[in-house]
Structure 1
Amino acid sequence: MAIPISKAKGLTVITNGSAENRDRVLELGATRFIDYKTEDYSEVLSDVDYVLDTLGGKETEKQMSILKKGGKLVSLRAMPNGSFAKRMNLPIWKQFVLGIAGRKFDRMADKYGVSYDFIFVKSDGKQLTEVSNIFQELKIKPSIDTVFDFDNVNDALDKVANGRYKGKTVISMME
């Protein structure tokens, strides 16, 4: 949902993926699509304002390298750091531990002159209400791949675990 929300907020959205997802991603509002099998985004992009890191691992530094000075990387996959722990009001000892654990990413961000933030999305009533209001206001429709009956919940979980989806996998609680 990051693509339509970002587009609706006036951002230029560039994303990468496999060729079979190209049309679907462009329909969601992406301005540019990069096929990761034929093009390396870190070789064709530069001076990017924001990166939403959904990959983690070695990609985090590559993503930092395409940001302009002062750019921001927000990661869903890398490592929590001290600023995350403070933002979440975690106990001092957890702030200390996460400060040490996330130091690698803070140093990497300093090297590139960018900022690094880790976010942890947790579903709660208030957050879901806010997201729902954004969806209604911006008239965003989620991209749904498959709807499974509750009796087939294991098939749905297998599909998600193995990355064989193009959009959201939904489990219906209705009979």
Structure 2
Amino acid sequence: RIPAGLDWPHAAGVPLAGHTAWQALVEHGRIEHGQKVLIHGGTGGVGHFAVQFAKVKGAEVYATASTESLPFLNELGVDRAIDYKTERFEAICKDFDLVIDLIGGDTQARSWQVLGEGGRLVSTLTMPDAHHPQAAGKTGTRFTAAPRGDELAEIAGLIEAGNVQVFIAKVFELNEAEQALDFLAGEHVHGKVVLRVSE
């Protein structure tokens, strides 16, 4: 069932991105109230849900984005928006409990530095390097989201209650799939990109 108040494009933007964000935080990240969480790529389809879910769970939330995207991060309710173009997140974040990595590469490797003892690095991209010099006493995991009806119902409840908003960056027609991919490759995607199959 579509959450009350959502049209078809917004409803279509929820399942995959919502499941991915929820499972990163809850299932793999084991997020708890009062913990400190850093989310890389906090303005995209998965990231904008992750920021909001983490706040709902009572976490202190930091997130990275480009200069142009910082206002959107603040709109989502982050406790600290980090400009990855001008700031080093590892100089700002110390003894964090959880990092959600939606970027990969060097960003992922540097993320070990911000975690405290027992901290968790969760990625949707590549498996974090457990042999990294700063990974001792910490855990890393990579996962692919799985659909779960009960989880989707809980997410829908948060949306209907007004605790979580669905942001759509842009809607493309199905025959514009290539343009949609090009759009996603840009730096300033705010929310989910949706392909419309038919009216």
Q: TM-score range by the shorter chain?
A: 0.7 to 0.9
Task: Report the count of equivalent residues.
Answer: 150
The match for 1:29 among 53, 74, 77 is 77
Q: Does 1:40 align with 2:64?
A: no
Equivalent residue letter for 2:61: V
Q: Which moved more, 1:37-46 or 1:162-171?
A: 162-171
Q: Quick one: distance in 2 between partners of 1:112 and 1:118? A: 17
The match for 1:146 among 170, 173, 192 is 170
Q: Does 1:50 align with 2:72?
A: no
Q: CA deviation at 1:149?
A: 2.9
Q: CA deviation at 1:125?
A: 5.5
Between the two structures, name the one with larger relative contact order (CA 8 Å, sep ≥ 6).
Answer: 2
TM-score relative to the length of structure 2:
0.65
TM-score relative to the length of structure 1:
0.73
Q: CA deviation at 1:111?
A: 4.0
Q: Unpaired segments of 5 or more residues in structure 1?
A: 80-101
What is residue 113 of structure 1 aligned with on the other side? 137
Match runs of 1:1-175 below 5 Å? 1-79=49-127, 105-108=129-132, 111-122=135-146, 124=147, 126=149, 128-137=152-161, 139-163=163-187, 165-175=189-199
Q: CA deviation at 1:109?
A: 7.8
The share of aligned pairs that are identical, in percent, is 29
Q: Quick one: distance in 2 between partners of 1:120 and 1:78? A: 10
Q: Quick one: distance in 2 between partners of 1:11 and 1:149? A: 37
Q: Quick one: distance in 2 between partners of 1:71 and 1:13? A: 15
Q: Unpaired segments of 5 or more residues in structure 2?
A: 1-48
Task: Write 1 or 2 for the structure with the bigger share of helix.
Answer: 1
Structure 1 vs Structure 2 CA RMSD: 2.4
Secondary structure at 2:130 match in 1: helix
Give the structure with higher Rg (CA).
1
Q: Is contact 1:48–1:66 with CA below 8 Å preserved after alignment? A: yes
